Amino acid sequence: MGRVLCCIIPGILLFISNFNAFAASEGIVVWRLEAKTGVSEKDIDSISGFVTAEVERHSGRKITSEADISTILKGEEIKQKCTGEGDTGCIAEIANALGVPEAVSGDLGRMGDYWILNLRRINVRDAEVISRIGRQIKGDINALIEEVPASVAELFGVPANPAEQSTYDGKPYRIAGWTLFGVGAGLAVLGGVGHMMMNDANGENKSSFDTWKAVTISGYTVGGAAIITGATLLIYDAVKGRNTSGERAFNFGVVPAPGGFAADVLLRW
């Protein structure tokens, strides 16, 4: 049994470590909007806060705002370097240092009766823009506020109407999938160890042989079933997501479609 534990424990610890790293990599940094002509700092603060809340709502991820960043970064000049249209590399560098895969930045201006809102979603690893939106909104600040949710929704490729959105946030299915896959792998290893012990006991100790035979069969059977179920949850949870063009998107960070296979399997498991 000591040999069994020595084989299984390192695998379980490695799985937990990798899973935690995976789960912690889903945050987004949301920067304060840059003020362009005709916009007060007060308006920028209000709209930036609203954009941050909408990013959290539509992405379903943990959000780090610029106010949070200011408690981490030292030196006002660092913050000043990361403003404007050409700041993608700097924003990506700081977001990467914070351990998040994406960042959202943008700017807001006013020309005549129109608000000019630009938002950018940035891939931190590649320092590239994933998507961008530009809006020209006629009216007062109330018209601007009404337009922000739809703009952020388009930035993340999700329905603007909350009633159209999935009630599932995707995370429970990824957790269930990885957990089942990891437990299944551990049981499969146990089955392999049982197989070796069964061969060692063959013809020498019938009682020991029967015990390890049962361990082998159970480990392989239950472990294999768990691995297949976990992989199914992960794969179907991924392929059920759709990008803005309506095509299937293979992305483990997507939200399952309402009534999707992964949601169905998990709720009926």
- What's the pLDDT score for residue 207? 85
201/97: higher pLDDT: 201
Q: Higher-confidence residue: 192 or 158?
A: 192
The residues spanned by each domain of the chain are 28-164, 167-268
Q: Is the pLDDT of residue 219 over 70?
A: yes
Question: CATH fold of 28-164, please?
Answer: Rossmann fold (3.40.50)
Burial class from Cβ neighbours inside 10 Å (0-12, 13-18, 19+) for residue 236 reads buried
Average pLDDT, the chain: 74
Where residue 242 falls among pLDDT bands split at 50, 70, 90? very low
pLDDT at 37 > cutoff 70: yes
Cβ contact 166:267 at 8 Å: no
Q: Give 100-141 pLDDT, tens digit per residue.
A: 788 899 999 999 999 999 999 988 778 789 999 999 999 999
Instruction: Give the mean model confidence (pLDDT) for residues 160-186.
Output: 73
What angle, rounded to 10 degrees, do the helices at 171-201 and 206-239 form? 160
List 109's β-bridge partners, or say none: 116
- Inform me whether the pLDDT recorded for 265 exceeds 90: no
Report the pLDDT value the prediction gives residue 170, as an integer from 0 to 100: 61
pLDDT at site 8: 45
Chain centre distance of CA 174: 9
In tens, the pLDDT along 48-91 reads: 999 999 999 888 888 887 766 666 555 444 545 555 444 556 66
